[in-house]
Amino acid sequence: MSPKTWHFNPYHQRIDEAMQLMDEPPKADTEWILFEVFVREKRGEHPVHVGALHAPDPEMAIVLAKEQYLRRGDAVQLWVVPSACITATPIEEADIFMHTTDKSYREAYGYRVAERVRHLRGEEKHG
């Protein structure tokens, strides 16, 4: 059974008024600021970037970010940052991050010690 008169839907009750509005072009709207949104899921973890949204100010950005990005899932904290505050390297210069020389001296895997210790122990037993 369809409630064809849609008593409880205010917009459908005013459909004639709504249709009249269509004769005029839409008016220019407010312009909001873009914010990047970060969520800290659990204590001890990094805040993680989840997306972006527009808001008129940082407080509203928090309110809207909770609606948009925390409808589900866990969080202990929410950050918003105006996107204009972010400085980024250009994507086409990704090669500046290439490791061109052997920098394994900076890494634990650059040192092979276990084998040499086994040798030492072996020599002690014999000698």
Nearest to other proteins of 4, 112 (CB atom):
4
Report the C-alpha dihedral over residues 66, 71, 72, 74, rounded to 10 degrees: 20
Which is it for the CA torsion 90, 93, 99, 101, positive or negative? negative
CB of 126 to other proteins, least distance (A): 55
Nearest to other proteins of 28, 98 (CB atom):
28
Nearest to other proteins of 6, 110 (CB atom):
6
Residue 82 CB-density burial (10 A; 0-12 exposed, 13-18 middle, 19+ buried): middle
CB of 10 to other proteins, least distance (A): 9
Site residues, other proteins (CB under 8 A): 1-3, 6, 8-9, 11-12, 14-15, 17-19, 21-22, 25-33, 36, 51-54, 56-58, 60, 67-68, 71-72, 82-92
Nearest to other proteins of 9, 104 (CB atom):
9
Give the chain's end-to-end CA distance (angstroms, integer): 97
Given a contact cutoff of 8 angstroms between Cβ atoms, the answer to whether 81 and 75 are in contact is no
